[in-house]
Amino acid sequence: MYQPRSERIPLIFEQGQPGRANRYLPSDAQLSDYLPAENLRAELPLPESTELDVVRHYTRLSQRTFGIDTGFYPLGSCTMKYNPRVNDAVANLPGLRDLHPFAPDELSQGALRIMYELERSLASLFGMAAFSLNPAAGAHAELAALLIAKKYFSDRGELNRQTVIVPDTAHGTNPASASMAGFRVVSLKSDERGRVGVDTLRAVLGDDTAVCMMTNPNTLGLFEDHIAEIARAVHDAGGLMYYDGANANALMGIARPGDMGFDLMHLNLHKTFTIPHGGGGAGAGPLGVAEHLVEYLPTPVVRAIAKDGSTANEDSRTYWLDFDVPKSIGPMRSFWSNFAHIVRALAYLYANGLEGLTDVSRLAVLNANYVRVKVAPFLETPYPEICQHEFVASAQELKKQSGVRAVDIAKALLDRGFHAPTMYFPLIVPECLMIEPTETESKETLDQFIAALEDVVATAKRDPQQILDAPQRTVVARVDETRAARQPDLRWRAPAGVT
Amino acid sequence: MPYLPHTKRDIAQMLDAIGVASIDELVRVPAAVALRAKPEIVAALPESEIVRRFEEFAGSDRATTMASFLGAGAYRHYCPPAIMALAMRGEFLTSYTPYQAEVSQGYLQAIYEWQTYICLLTGLDIADASVYDGATALAEGAIMALAATNRKKILVSRAVHPNYRAVLKTYCDGLDVAIDEVPLLPGGMTDPQALRDALSRGSYAAVALQSPNFFGIVETVPEDVRDAFKRSGTVPIAVVAEALALAAFPTPASWGAQICVGEAQSFGVALAYGGPYVGFIACTSDHLRRIPGRLVGRTVDRNGKEAYVLTLQAREQHIRRERATSNICTNQAHCALIATIYLALMGASGLRNCAAQNVKRAHELVKRVSAIPGCRLQFEAPFFNEFVLNVGSSAADVLKALQKRGILGGLDLGRFYHEMSDCILMTATEMTTSKDIDALCAALQEVVRVPASL
C-alpha cells in the first residue's frame, strides 16, 4: 500500500490568506446594491486559498483514505465490490446530471424511463409487485416500510399491532427504524444453528405482531432454511414479513424474497448494484412491496402508458410522476430519488443481464466459501457449514491463548495492506470478524488476504505484542476513541484573537 | 461476464478446496422457496452499447437544453471543474464509512472540515456529518426537539418548502406527532402575530421557519417572536433550502435558532433530477447528545499525534439499536465532500460574490418581467434569488406556453398553494444569462393575457 508522508496536514481553515480567492464568476455586484444593509451578514469567516492549494489539500487527504480502488475490502455485510467506471460516466451525461427535479414530465422522459426500467427489473428480480425508488438508503427504506405497515394495519382497524420482531443477528437499523415508526421492538434469540427457530418465533407471535424483519442470508452468512415456515407462521398470526436486503448479493437469479413470502423489502443499491459508497453515502434504498401494499408506497410513483393505452411497447410509452396516490404514506425525501445512483444501478443491470447477475451471486458465494475453508484451520469459524456470500470467524480462542482480540487482528491487517473485516458484529458471536470477499476479487487476491490473515494469527501466537501494537505503517497509530468521546472536538475554532 | 475475474481453472481449484463438486451445491435453497418464475431482465449489453443507450435517454431529457428559471429547493450554480477532479478520486469515491480510522484519516479530516464549514455558515456550535437532504434534515431536527422537550406537537410556517413539510408529516405520522401550520401574511411572510399566538396557546416542541422562505423572501424574526420562543420553551428550528443564502444574511444562530437544518445541494452538487443531495443539521451544544447520524471528532493516537475518528457513536443505531437518536446509517458523505471542496475553492469573497451575482440576476429579472403587461410581482419584500410573479391567469397554462417556446419559466405555485394558481416561482442564479432573460420576456409578452381594463 502506498503510504504518503505522514506529517500533519493543516486544516483548510489554517491555510490560505485573505485575498487569495479564485475568480470563477464576474464580480460586478455587491449585495448591498440590492438589499438593505441591516438584512446582511456582517462577516463571513471562511478561508481563501488558491485552486492549486485546494487541489493539493484534497489530493493529499485522498491519499490518506483507503478505498476499493486502493485495496481489498473484506467488509462483511457491506458488499465492497468493484465500482465500474462506466456507471459514473453515464450518470454524468449532461442530459441526466443537469436535469431539474421540477422539469416537466414530458421533457424528462429519458430520466423517467430509467427509473421505470429499474423499478420493473428489480420487481421481477426479487419477486415483488412493485418498488419505490424514493428512499435514500436502506435504513430510510426500512422506515418507509414500517410506516406502510402502520398505515396498512390502521386501515384494517388492527391498531393493536404494535410490535416489530427482530432477530438478535439483525442490523442495528432494524430496531432503530421500528422505534422511529413508533413500534415496540422484540428481539429474537437465534438458535444454535445461527438461525431463527420457528418455535422461538411462534412463542412471541400474537395479535400484537405487526412486522417480522429478517435478513436472508442472515448476518452470519447463513441461509434461513426455515424461511417458508417462518413466513407462514407470521402470516398466520396476521403479521407482515420484511426482508432486509443488505445481503441480497447472495441471491440474484437464485431465489427471490417474494417467493419466500416477504411482503416488504429493501435493497442497498450501494451494495448489490455497485454504486460507490463514497465514504459512507450517498446510497440508494429501493423499497419493494407485495401486491396488497402497492397503494401505500411513497410518492411520487413513476407510471407509464403506451400511446395505445397498454404498457407493452417500450418505445411508445409515456412516463410520468404520479403524486396523487390517496393511500400513500407520502414522500420520504425532498425529491424523487437518488437519481444519479438509479442511473448507475441500471447501467450495472445492463452490463450483466440475468445470467450475469446470477453469476455474480454464485461467484460471491464461491469466494466466501473458499476464504472460509482456507481460514478455518487457523481461526475459529463458529458455524462450520456452507455459507452464502459472507461468513463469520471468531478470535475468541486466540484471545484466550494470546490476548489478541478481533480489533487487534483488524488493525494488523491494515498494516498488511488490507482493509479490516467487519468487527464485533453480529453481536452474538464473541470476538467476531465478519468477512465478505465479494465476487469481483480474484483468487490471487483472496490467497494474498488469507496468507496475511494467517500471518497475523501466527504472529499473535508467537509475539502478541507486535499485533497489539498494530497498526504501525498507517499515518496514525491506534486512535484514542475514549478521549474523542469524553472531550468532543467536533469542529475547528479560530485561535483566540484571530478573526 | 463483466467485472468477474474467475477462470474455469480458478473455479475448479476453489471448488476442490471447499470439497464440493459444483457451485450448485453452494447455492442450493430449500425447494419451498425456489424461484417461482424466471426474472425478466434485459439481456446483457457490451459497455459501448450501454453508453449509447444512456446517451439516448439523456438526449430525450429535453429540459436540460432549455433556458430555465426553476429553483424551489434545487439550484443550478456554477461548479468549478476542480471539484469533480478531486471528489471523483477513487480513494474518496470507493471508500466505506471511515470506521477504520487509521486508514481513513483523509476522509475523516474532510468531514471534520465540512462540520466546521456548516458551523461557520450557520453560527451554531456543532454539525453532523450529513443527513439525506433538506426535507429529512427537517424531520430529524423535529425529532431532536421532540426528545429535548418531551412534547408531541410541531409548529411549522406555511412558507417552509412544501416538500419539506410533506416529509415532516410522513415522519410525524409514524410518531403520532401533530403538526400545526403558521399562516402567511398577505406579503408572503410568516405571520408573526399568528406565530406568537400559537406559541402562547399550544405547547410545541419546535417551530420551523425558513429564510429565504419558499417564495424567496428574506424573513426576519422580530424581538417579540424571539421572546415568545423562550417563554414557550419551544425549540426554534431554522430551515435553509438555498444554502448559498447563508453567505449573505445574518446567521440562524443570530435570531435564536437552536437547530438549523437544510440542503447544501447549492454547494457544487449536481441537480441530477433530485438526488443525491446533502442535508445538514447544526445545533447548539445543548443538543449534542440528540443530534442524529455520524460525527467526526479530533483526538490523538497512541503516540499523542493528532487524529480524527468517528465519535459519540453511542447515539447511533449500530450501538444503541431501538434507543438510537435516529435510524440513519448511510448518509451523504460524498456530497458533503463535494460541498466542502466547493466552499474551499470559493472562499469567503468568492461565496459572497456568488451570492451577490444571484441577487443581481434575480433583481434584473424581476425588473424586466414585472414590467410586462399582465405580470406583477406578487410580494414586495426583500428577496434573494427567487420571487413570485403573478401572471393574472393560470400559471400552469402560461408555463406550458413558455415551454413550447423552449423556456422553463419556473414553478407553478398552484401545485402547492391553491390560492396561488396564477403565480409562478421564478429563480435566477449566476448561471442565468441576459439572453435567457430576453427570451423569457419576449415569450411572456406573447403568452400572458393583458387584462381588458388596461
Beta carbons of B18 and A298 less than 8 Å apart: no
The distance of A469 to chain B (nearest Cα, Å) reads 9
**Distance from the A320 Cα atom to the nearest Cα atom in chain B, whole angstroms:** 13
A472, pLDDT greater than 50: yes
Same domain, A254 and A371: no
Task: Indicate whether A314 pLDDT > 80.
Answer: no
User: What is the layout of strands, in order, in the sheet containing B279-283?
Assistant: B126-127, B279-283, B259-263, B235-240, B206-210, B153-157, B178-182
The rounded percent of chain A whose pLDDT value lies above 90 is 94
- Per DSSP, what are the bridge partners of residue B297? B309
Is the pLDDT score of B348 beyond 80?
Answer: yes
Query: What local confidence, expressed as pLDDT, does residue A306 receive?
Result: 73
The pLDDT of residue A488 is above 80: yes
Cβ within 8 Å of residue A288, ≥6 positions away: A122, A123, A126, A128, A129, A130, A131, A243, A257, A258, A264, A265, A266, A267
Contact B100 A83 (CB under 8 A): no
Is residue A346 domain-shared with residue A408, that is, in the same domain? Answer: no
Amino acid B316: pLDDT: 85
Instruction: Tell me which chain B residues have a C-beta less than 8 angstroms from the C-beta of A337.
Output: 273-275
CA–CA min distance A429, chain B (Å): 15
**CATH at A199:** 3.40.640.10
A-chain CB neighbours of B330 within 8 Å are 136-139, 268, 270, 277, 280-283, 285
| pLDDT value at residue B380 | 94
A363: nearest Cα among A261, A275, A443: A443
Minimum distance, in Å, between the CA of residue B231 and any CA atom of chain A: 26
Task: Tell me the C-alpha distance between A174 and B15, whole Å.
Answer: 35
Q: Which string of b and e fits A412-436 if b means at least 16 CB within 10 Å?
A: bbbbbbbbbbbbbbbebbebbbbbb
Q: Alpha carbon B362 to chain centroid distance?
A: 21
Specify whether A176 is located in the same domain as A202.
yes
Which of B6, B33, B380, B386 to probe the A interface (max A CBs under 10 A)? B33
Chain B residue with minimum CA distance to A484: B299
| In-domain check, residue A275 | yes
- Summarised one tens digit per residue, pLDDT across range A10-41 is 999 999 999 898 899 999 999 999 999 988 99
Nearest partner of B44 among A343, A122, A352, A124, judged by Cα: A352
Protein fold of B66-78+347-447 = Aspartate Aminotransferase, domain 1 (3.90.1150)
Instruction: Assess whether pLDDT exceeds 50 at residue A78.
Output: yes
User: Cell numbers of A325, please?
Assistant: 396516490
Query: Tens of pLDDT along B71-118?
Result: 999 999 999 999 999 999 999 999 999 999 999 999 999 999 999 999
Burial zone of A30 (CB within 10 Å; 0-12 exposed, 13-18 middle, 19+ buried): middle
Tell whether A185 is covered by a domain.
yes
CB–CB of A340 and B272 under 8 A?
yes
Left (φ > 0), alpha (ψ -120 to 50) or beta: where does A195 sit?
beta
A363–B305 C-beta distance less than 8 A: no
- All three cell numbers of B402, joined, read 413558455
Which residues make Cβ contacts (< 8 Å) with residue A36, sequence separation at least 6? Answer: B382
Inter-chain residue contact A373 with B18, CB threshold 8 Å? yes
Residues A188 and A53 in one domain: no
**Minimum CA–CA partner of B143 in chain A:** A180
DSSP assigned state of B449: P
What is the nearest CA distance from B452 to chain A, expressed in angstroms?
A: 31
Q: What does the alpha-carbon distance between residue A333 and residue A330 come to, in Å, rounded to a whole number?
A: 9
Q: Residue B423 pairs with which residues in a beta bridge?
A: B390
Chain A from 302 to 321: CB within 8 A of any B CB: none
Query: Same structural domain for residues A290 and A323?
Result: yes
pLDDT class of A307 with cuts at 50, 70, 90: low
For residue A363, being part of any structural domain is answered with yes
Is A492 domain-assigned? no
- Measured between alpha carbons, how far is A420 from A183 in angstroms, rounded to an integer? 35
Q: Does domain B81-342 have CATH number 3.40.640.10?
A: yes
Q: How far is the CA of A111 from the CAs of A44, A97, A282, B44, B75, in angstroms? A: 38, 10, 19, 20, 18
User: Looking at residues A283-299, what average pLDDT do you find?
Assistant: 98
3-state SS, B344-373, equals HHHHHHHHHHHHHHHHHHHHHHHHHHHCCC
Q: Which residue of A has its CA nearest to B119?
A: A491
Backbone angles phi, psi at B99, to 5 degrees: -70, -30
User: Cβ distance A96 to B273 under 8 Å?
Assistant: yes
Q: What percentage of residues in chain B have a pLDDT greater than 70?
A: 100
Angstroms from B33 CA to nearest CA on chain A: 5
Joined grid coordinates for residue A316 = 411508445
d(CA B265, CA A333): 14
Q: Residues of A with CB below 8 A from B133's CB? A: 136, 333-335
In total, how many domains does chain A have? 3
B251 to each of A374, B123, B211, how far by Cα in Å?
58, 6, 10
Identify the pLDDT of residue A2.
47
**Average pLDDT value for residue range A327-333:** 98
Residue A425 domain boundaries: 358-484
CB contact under 8 A, A127 and B43: no
Contact A351 B295 (CB under 8 A): no
Confidence of residue B453 (pLDDT cuts 50, 70, 90): low
At B81 the pLDDT is 98
- Specify the CATH number for the domain of residue A395: 3.90.1150.10
Q: Which residue intervals of chain B bear CATH 3.40.640.10?
A: 81-342
Mean pLDDT over B53-66 rounds to 97
> In which band, very low, low, confident or very high, does the pLDDT at A90 lie, cut at 50, 70 and 90?
very high
The size of the A-B interface in CB pairs under 8 A is 700
Asked whether the beta carbons of residue A476 and residue B10 sit closer than 8 angstroms, the reply is no
| B16 Cβ contact list (under 8 Å, min separation 6) | none
Q: How confident is the model at residue A309 (pLDDT cuts 50, 70, 90)?
A: low
Contacts of B89 in chain A (CB under 8 A): 58-59, 62
Question: What's the pLDDT band for B452 if we cut at 50, 70, 90?
Answer: confident
Domain boundary among A334, A350, A366: A350
CA distance B317 to chain A (A): 5
